[in-house]
Amino acid sequence: MTSKRKFYKTVIRFEVLSEEPVEQVDLETLHYEVTEGRWSGRFLDTTEEILDGPQMAKALQEQSSDPEFFNLDSDGNDVEED
């Protein structure tokens, strides 16, 4: 049965100013460069979307994560914990 739980997808936009192009970086590098390094940065905005089970299962798979992270199967159905 499809999960009846609510899930949340939050997108946080962050602006970086630098003297060189910034490729995709991990959070640790972003934090270091803005607090100790050669970049200036600030948060711009945050958006939030409520997802159902199937939408969350798909979103997790798109992040190369496993729906079982939230006890879902690949179709967004609740999986019983052992």
What's the pLDDT tens digit per position in 25-35?
999 999 999 99
What's the pLDDT tens digit per position in 33-55?
999 999 999 999 999 999 999 99
Q: Is the pTM of this model over 0.95?
A: no
* CB neighbour burial string for 17-43, b if at least 16 within 10 angstroms, e if fewer: eeeeeeeeeeeeebeebbeeeebebee
What's the pLDDT tens digit per position in 3-21?
999 999 999 999 999 999 9
